[in-house]
Chains A and B, each alone.
Chain A
Amino acid sequence: MTLLNQFIEWLDNYWPHWASYLTSAIVGVLIVVIFVILGIIVVILTERRLLGRFQVRLGPNRVGPEGIFQAFADAVKVLTKEDIVPKAADHWVHWLAPVISFIPVIMVFAVVPVASGAIFADLNVGVLYLAAVSSLSVLGMFMAGWGSNNKYSLVAALRSVSQMVGYELPIVFALLAVVAAAGSMSLNRIVEAQSAAPFFLLQPLGFIIYFIASLAEINRSPFDLLEADSEIVAGVHTEYSGMKFAMFYLGEYGHAFGASCIIATLFLGGWQGPFLPGFFWFLIKGFVVFFLMIWVRATLPRVRVDQLTAIGWKLLLPLSIFNLLIVALEQIFWPGMFPWLLIGVNLLAGLALILLVGRAVTIRGGRVEV
């Protein structure tokens, strides 16, 4: 019984059902939106400070104590900028693109359990909802690239479509492995199924695959070809200024925040943990995953677009299929097996697979004969 349902029942004492349903929906949406936006602001600040520490410099630390109001200062700056739309741009497409790109970010949080019972919609097909909604943002990127009437943006948009489509499959297979191990698609059940051992220990290969594929889905380094500063200026958001650019910027960090929360839920055990309330554990685990993402961004250079599709299709897809196979076999033949043995077996199998598939696949390549 989620908190929201308890709220509806309490309100049912005073109001007709439809009114209490509507009120609780609005309250829930507001809470989710505020949570997401606050989360994004904290995430932006954390990223900038941490990136600075990785690069042997301080991050922004002037606005407010230790720079915690930096995001608000940036928001004010961005709101006061002139909104320039190129004359030859497709006006409606250009206007809609940031909106479509930002909405899935918030929608994803509807099914993420932040604490025991604190979930907006306890869908029993939560994983399906996740996979569906997170692929909506491709559309936003492509609309931005097309609607800008700019060659750089078009090139970036084409790259982004191939990138995101290519990494959907490894994500889905890794998700399926989690679902097979947990026995349900609802995110609440998945968190509860990790009470024995979190899934990143039970399925280390799945965790790695999902992490890498998430990095590609949210366009972060080393897969940030979409906004490759050094090649295509600013990629898809070259022609955006002012609040629209801010929507893209927030959307990017919102995706990162969402992906870290989802990984924390699916693989690290969600809100479970001793001593502290569930909400704090959720935030800590989300932060750990996000720290990994920042670490990867600060360290690795970018891959080229054909190498990116090669990694997605040739390297991650076979690995994820094998992962699913192993997990499914374990569920059939050893259900209820003592987790530590499973962990050991999966770890060895994961390492062996990575070595084998990595040997068999080359991602270096390609001069094209012209």
Chain B
Amino acid sequence: MSLQTQELLLNVGPQHPSTHGVARFRVWLDGEVVTNLEVVVGYLHRGIEKLAETRTYTQVIPLTDRLDYLCSITNNLAYCLAVEKLAGVKVPERAEYIRVIMSELQRVASHLMSVGFLLNELGAYFTPIIYCFRDREKIVDLFEMVSGQRMMYTYLRVGGVSQDLPEEFIPAVKRLIVDLRKAVDEYEALLSGNEILLARMKGVGVLSPELAVNASASGPVLRASGIKWDIRRAEPYSIYDRFKFDIPTAKNGDCYDRYWVRIEEMKQSLNIVEQALRDLPGGEIRSEVPALIRPPKGDVYRHIEAPRGDLGFYIVSDGSIAPYRIHIKPPTLINLTTMKDLCVGWKIADFIVIFGSIDVVLGEMDR
């Protein structure tokens, strides 16, 4: 007599403690094992691309903040680089160094948050999150010192940055780097050898390198699968070719490797900040750019290595003060293309961890 079973359709709905926002999945389960999966997005779609068509180039910058709202500086940077290439604007040296310092600090803050939330999904009851947030608070305080805001900074402008660094910034960053290095070592000591963490993450959700390249994965997801591709090295933007840093690449492509790559990237970012602080020149922070920029007709695609992947801006200009078309290439949405392949055969608990290790932010997925 055979047992009659039925597949359960579970809706990991837009409201769920672990969906990093309002992502929704429809998961078909056989007992606890995932047999099929469908990604449903669009709950945070605000039409940023359409809104940008009715705003001037400088007015689009606050819109870009709200994309990946945890990494506002890198969003601003990608957009400003695209417009600068289109309009042929040169950025002064001091502004370039400031942009690099801010971007790398933003990367550390973002990775701290993603590691903390990944461990929350593993079930470590809030302890790693609060430790990571304690360190992220220090970084956010620095951002507040510079731009006056804790979250959507709108700090960069086409042609430079909007405000100069206050005097207490540089000593504060130097102290912070020492603290953060100790903190990252502490996390590694506490977490990376933990037997339960290894049992939950090693070998889970393996993304093969061929599939990663074919599915246009980018960022830590791609590097964890063994492909050493970092836009800061491959197509250096801003002044990244002047800094020495490693590109951590892992071999297996499982959740543990994605976590490990982020921890190592934090260390490398701190190295870059140190080098940039050492070489920070004086000078002006923004080149002379008209208030209403009119780039010449044409199109440009510029992409940068944002903390979550390869964020690109495609801007088409028709010579007027507003862009004709802006397209934001979302690394997080594209990283989710292979979600079904990664999750089938694993259990609900693994599916949550795999999703956490891919590390999405809904603002960027849905725009």
Asked whether any CB of A lies within 8 Å of a CB of B in the complex, the reply is yes
List chain A positions with a Cβ less than 8 A from chain B.
51, 54-57, 151-152, 155, 158-159, 221-222, 224-225, 228-233, 297-307, 363-364, 367-370
- The one of A55, A158, A300 that contacts B126, using a Cβ cutoff of 8 Å: A55
How far apart sit A363 and B200, CA to CA, in the bound complex (Å)?
Answer: 10
Closest A-chain residue to B344, C-beta based? Answer: A370
Nearest-neighbour CB distance to chain A for B128, whole angstroms, equals: 8
Nearest-neighbour CB distance to chain B for A247, whole angstroms, equals: 22
**B203 interface residue per 8 A CB criterion:** yes
- The one of B200, B204, B345 that contacts A303, using a Cβ cutoff of 8 Å: B200
Closest A-chain residue to B199, C-beta based? Answer: A364
Nearest 7 Cβ contacts at the A-B interface: A302-B123, A301-B122, A301-B124, A230-B18, A55-B130, A230-B121, A367-B345
What are the residues of chain B within 8 A of A303 when measuring CB–CB? 196, 199-200
How far apart sit A301 and B116, CA to CA, in the bound complex (Å)?
Answer: 12
How far apart sit A303 and B345, CA to CA, in the bound complex (Å)?
Answer: 18
**B347 interface residue per 8 A CB criterion:** yes
How far apart sit A51 and B129, CA to CA, in the bound complex (Å)?
Answer: 13
Closest B-chain residue to A367, C-beta based? Answer: B345
Interface of A (DSSP majority class):
loop
Q: Is the CB of A56 within 8 A of B130?
A: yes
Q: Is the CB of B200 within 8 A of A51?
A: no
What are the residues of chain B within 8 A of A363 when measuring CB–CB? 199
Q: Is the CB of B348 within 8 A of A231?
A: yes
- Knowing A55-B126, A56-B131, A230-B352 are in contact, say whether A302-B345 is a contact too (CB < 8 A): no
What are the residues of chain A within 8 A of B30 when measuring CB–CB? 370
What are the residues of chain A within 8 A of B29 when measuring CB–CB? 155
- The one of A56, A221, A301, A369 that contacts B134, using a Cβ cutoff of 8 Å: A56
Nearest-neighbour CB distance to chain B for A192, whole angstroms, equals: 38
What are the residues of chain A within 8 A of B194 when measuring CB–CB? 300-301
What are the residues of chain A within 8 A of B197 when measuring CB–CB? 301
**B32 interface residue per 8 A CB criterion:** yes
What are the residues of chain B within 8 A of A155 when measuring CB–CB? 8, 10, 29, 32, 348
- Within B120-168, which residues are at the interface with A (CB < 8 Å)? 120-127, 130-131, 134
How far apart sit A305 and B199, CA to CA, in the bound complex (Å)?
Answer: 12
Q: Is the CB of A364 within 8 A of B203?
A: yes
- The one of B17, B31, B204, B346 that contacts A230, using a Cβ cutoff of 8 Å: B17
Q: Is the CB of A305 within 8 A of B125?
A: no
Q: Is the CB of A304 within 8 A of B125?
A: no
Closest B-chain residue to A364, C-beta based? Answer: B199
Chain B, interface size category, equals 35 or more
- The one of B124, B202, B344, B349 that contacts A305, using a Cβ cutoff of 8 Å: B349
Binary interface encoding of chain B residues 150-191 relative to chain A, with 1 for a CB under 8 A from any of its CBs, else 0: 000000000000000000000000000000000000000000
Q: Is the CB of B18 within 8 A of A231?
A: yes
What are the residues of chain B within 8 A of A370 when measuring CB–CB? 30, 33-35, 344-345
- Knowing A54-B127, A55-B131, A57-B130 are in contact, say whether A369-B345 is a contact too (CB < 8 A): yes
A-B contact pairs, 30 of them (CB 8 A): A55-B131, A56-B134, A57-B130, A151-B8, A151-B10, A152-B10, A155-B10, A158-B31, A221-B123, A228-B349, A230-B120, A230-B123, A297-B125, A299-B124, A300-B196, A301-B124, A302-B122, A302-B124, A303-B196, A304-B349, A305-B347, A305-B349, A306-B347, A307-B199, A363-B199, A364-B199, A364-B202, A370-B30, A370-B34, A370-B35
Closest A-chain residue to B204, C-beta based? Answer: A367
How far apart sit A230 and B30, CA to CA, in the bound complex (Å)?
Answer: 20
What are the residues of chain B within 8 A of A369 when measuring CB–CB? 345
- The one of B17, B31, B350 that contacts A304, using a Cβ cutoff of 8 Å: B350
What are the residues of chain B within 8 A of A306 when measuring CB–CB? 32, 347
What are the residues of chain B within 8 A of A159 when measuring CB–CB? 32
- Knowing A305-B32, A305-B347, A364-B199 are in contact, say whether A222-B127 is a contact too (CB < 8 A): no
What are the residues of chain A within 8 A of B131 when measuring CB–CB? 55-56
Q: Which of B33, B34, B121, B122 has the largest number of chain A CB atoms within 10 A?
A: B122
- The one of A54, A158, A367 that contacts B346, using a Cβ cutoff of 8 Å: A367
Nearest-neighbour CB distance to chain A for B187, whole angstroms, equals: 13
**B119 interface residue per 8 A CB criterion:** yes
Nearest-neighbour CB distance to chain B for A366, whole angstroms, equals: 8
How far apart sit A51 and B127, CA to CA, in the bound complex (Å)?
Answer: 8
Nearest-neighbour CB distance to chain B for A75, whole angstroms, equals: 23
What are the residues of chain A within 8 A of B16 when measuring CB–CB? 233
Closest B-chain residue to A300, C-beta based? Answer: B196
How far apart sit A364 and B124, CA to CA, in the bound complex (Å)?
Answer: 18
What are the residues of chain B within 8 A of A301 when measuring CB–CB? 119, 122-124, 194, 196-197, 200
**B40 interface residue per 8 A CB criterion:** no
What are the residues of chain B within 8 A of A152 when measuring CB–CB? 10
Closest B-chain residue to A307, C-beta based? Answer: B199
Nearest-neighbour CB distance to chain A for B319, whole angstroms, equals: 51
- Within B301-328, which residues are at the interface with A (CB < 8 Å)? none
What are the residues of chain A within 8 A of B34 when measuring CB–CB? 370
**B215 interface residue per 8 A CB criterion:** no
**B211 interface residue per 8 A CB criterion:** no
Q: Is the CB of B127 within 8 A of A55?
A: yes
Nearest-neighbour CB distance to chain A for B225, whole angstroms, equals: 17
Closest A-chain residue to B206, C-beta based? Answer: A367
What are the residues of chain B within 8 A of A224 when measuring CB–CB? 123
- Knowing A56-B131, A57-B130 are in contact, say whether A222-B349 is a contact too (CB < 8 A): no
Nearest-neighbour CB distance to chain A for B273, whole angstroms, equals: 24
Extra 17 A-B pairs, beta carbons < 8 Å, given A302-B200, A368-B33: A55-B130, A155-B10, A222-B123, A228-B123, A230-B18, A230-B352, A231-B18, A231-B121, A231-B349, A299-B127, A300-B124, A303-B196, A304-B199, A306-B347, A367-B345, A370-B34, A370-B344
Closest A-chain residue to B129, C-beta based? Answer: A55
How far apart sit A299 and B128, CA to CA, in the bound complex (Å)?
Answer: 8
Nearest-neighbour CB distance to chain A for B224, whole angstroms, equals: 18
**B198 interface residue per 8 A CB criterion:** yes
What are the residues of chain A within 8 A of B198 when measuring CB–CB? 364
Closest B-chain residue to A222, C-beta based? Answer: B196
How far apart sit A36 and B344, CA to CA, in the bound complex (Å)?
Answer: 46
Q: Is the CB of A298 within 8 A of B127?
A: yes
Q: Is the CB of B345 within 8 A of A368?
A: yes
What are the residues of chain A within 8 A of B35 when measuring CB–CB? 370
How far apart sit A57 and B345, CA to CA, in the bound complex (Å)?
Answer: 39
What are the residues of chain A within 8 A of B119 when measuring CB–CB? 301
Binary interface encoding of chain B residues 321-338 relative to chain A, with 1 for a CB under 8 A from any of its CBs, else 0: 000000000000000000
Nearest-neighbour CB distance to chain B for A30, whole angstroms, equals: 35
